[in-house]
Structure 1
Amino acid sequence: MAEFKKSTIVAREFFIQGITSDGRQFRPSDWAERLCGVMSCFRPEGSGGPNAHLSYSPYVRPTVLAGVKSVVVNEQLRELEPLAYHFVVNFAKDNDLQIVDACLLPDAKTR
């Protein structure tokens, strides 16, 4: 019988949605890609590689949720680089963007 080990690491994520608290769409339209581009250098040790600058960080990545541009932020960023984590959170607060605690699940095709 196979033995399964329960992971002690819990993937905690939150979404920054491109909608202000009063329901308006945030501009510019490429805000999520810009924010994630700035954060692309923050990644797990050893995962850089020669073309790392061409991809988003696994801790801060753009997505679209229910037709709304969003950014998925993994809270492990806080441990890796607290200032970067606070930069992302303060970006959302300063621009009055909605923050939702959640966890992004993989598509059925990739499971």
Structure 2
Amino acid sequence: MAAADPQFRLVDAKAVLCHFLPRAAVAAGCVAMLKFRCLTLFQRRVVAVQCKYIIEGYTEDGRKFRPSDWIDRIASMMATYDHRRLVYSDLLHPELYDGQKCLIIDDRLKDENPGMYDYVMNFVKSNRLRMSHVCDIDQAKLGK
């Protein structure tokens, strides 16, 4: 994969083939006929994994980080205004995660705005904030 690509995960070729073929064709044994044409394409099929950094408002030793509005301050650096309302970027935004306000950073920020990515990562490191890198975020924990 190219260095600029997001993280990828290989998909099982047989599962992909069975997903895209009608059940009747699979049952009739058409998979063997399609193997030469399609299976090589599906073997190399990759699916992008949505990964994000979740930065909590607590330090590594468990103290609440002050000032309490630091998440909004950093997220507003990439926000825009639309009809007199602040609109946060999808790449860097505040969000409730598992009941607490966190700063969510999409992995794509590293490629699309490396300066902002470095700034936020240096801020996290210098203030020793809790940060986790997760792929496949539990959507049930967001917004609560």
- How many residues are treated as equivalent by the alignment? 100
Residue 79 of structure 1 corresponds to 111
1:63, distance to aligned residue in structure 2 (A): 1.5
TM-score for the superposition, normalised by structure 1: 0.74
User: Structure 1's 62 and 7: CA in aligned 2 closer, same or farther, altered over 3 A?
Assistant: farther
Q: Decide which structure has greater helix share.
A: 2
Q: Which runs of 5+ in 2 are unaligned?
A: 1-17, 22-41
Partner of 2:76, secondary structure, is helix
Deviations 1:52-85, CA, capped at 9 Å, x for gaps: 8720010011112333321110010111011111
1:106 to 2:123 alignment:
no
TM-score for the superposition, normalised by structure 2: 0.58
Indicate the RMSD between aligned Cα atoms, in angstroms.
2.8
Residue 51 of structure 1 corresponds to 82
CA distance in 2, matches of 1:91, 1:75: 17
Larger radius of gyration: 2
Percent identical residues: 31
CA distance in 1, matches of 2:20, 2:54: 34
Q: Which amino acid aligns with 1:35?
A: I
CA distance in 1, matches of 2:68, 2:99: 12
Residue 127 of structure 2 corresponds to 95
Equivalent position to 2:100, from 68, 73, 81: 68
Partner of 1:79, secondary structure, is helix
Q: Which runs of 5+ in 1 are unaligned?
A: 42-49
Residue 20 of structure 2 corresponds to 3
| Higher RCO, 1 vs 2 (CA within 8 Å, ≥6 residues apart) | 1
Q: Decide which structure has greater strand share.
A: 2
